[in-house]
Structure 1
């Protein structure tokens, strides 16, 4: 039977994560905003630096490796606010070869257990509109849409 566990990232694992996160995040930014690749990379880098100013030691942020049967299969990054008793999921990323097997569901269930143990009352996230697989996963897991961002690109005539 496959087992999933969440393991806090070491500094070396965090450094590897950020090197891989920047281009993945930039790709989503470019796809959703239609800006150029270089600008998307710069935006992704700046945003990640502002969100994690102290890297893996940024207060309130927890970064995990998702491990299945002693094999790395992905990442989870959350921020917990003890004041508001809310958590925000910045990322769940499951390597492509481990997707569509229930691994994302299991990882989120483990994360929810951890959040409940810490007294967290609300679990929030953002998902890009093109990410239909994630949207379906979150809806299956009981997440509700609380707002919708929309964009229309304008061109001069």
Structure 2
């Protein structure tokens, strides 16, 4: 099994667009968002164009087949943000995400990055475990949400810093 990464090339633009659509709609599915809020490929094209302007997109390959991507944005004071990491569903649980995280670490060290941040939807426990396993162990920011549409409310509780919240 040969896994590697490369910076996004023009010939993978549309393939990556499809993966972005898959990522965005995976998040919407996790949050039970109505279908009218799901992302289209046209919206993902615009997303990818913005990402290219604001950061760097890397494709993840398995034996020369693109099976995922990650998007990193660099900021001042030598910090970076892992904005998104995505592996096609049929290629998950094969160690590809772990390999991508190792390559990300190597890139950050090469670029003299002193810290990297990532935001995770609380329901995405697989991502949280992956990030924890790769050293994301400092709580940096807590984003709170208030639903005006009660259909969006969740039932599962989570305790953070002694406070109880609904796990979204």
- The TM-score bracket by the shorter chain reads 0.7 to 0.9
- Aligned partner of 2:141 in structure 1 is 147
1:8-157 to structure 2, matched below 5 A, reads 8-22=7-21, 24-29=23-28, 31-32=30-31, 35-41=33-39, 45=43, 49=46, 52-53=49-50, 56=52, 58-59=53-54, 61-81=55-75, 83-144=76-137, 145-154=139-148, 155=150
- Measure the CA separation in 2 of the matches of 1:50 and 1:75: 14
The root-mean-square deviation of aligned C-alpha atoms, in Å, is 2.8
- Measure the CA separation in 2 of the matches of 1:23 and 1:3: 24
C-alpha contact 1:67 1:73 (8 A) present in aligned 2: yes
Q: Structure 2: any 5+ residue segments left out of the alignment? A: 151-168
- Measure the CA separation in 2 of the matches of 1:30 and 1:95: 15
With the length of structure 1 as denominator, give the TM-score of the two structures.
0.77
Classify 1:51/1:98 alpha carbon distance in 2 versus 1 (closer, same or farther; 3 Å): closer
- Cα deviation for residue 28 of structure 1 reads 1.5
* Equivalent residues, number: 148
- Cα deviation for residue 24 of structure 1 reads 3.1
Q: Is 1:5 aligned with 2:4?
A: yes
Q: Structure 1: any 5+ residue segments left out of the alignment? A: none
With the length of structure 2 as denominator, give the TM-score of the two structures.
0.72
C-alpha contact 2:8 2:57 (8 A) present in aligned 1: yes
Q: What's the CA shift string for 1:101-131, capped at 9, x where partnerless?
A: 2221111111110111111111111111111
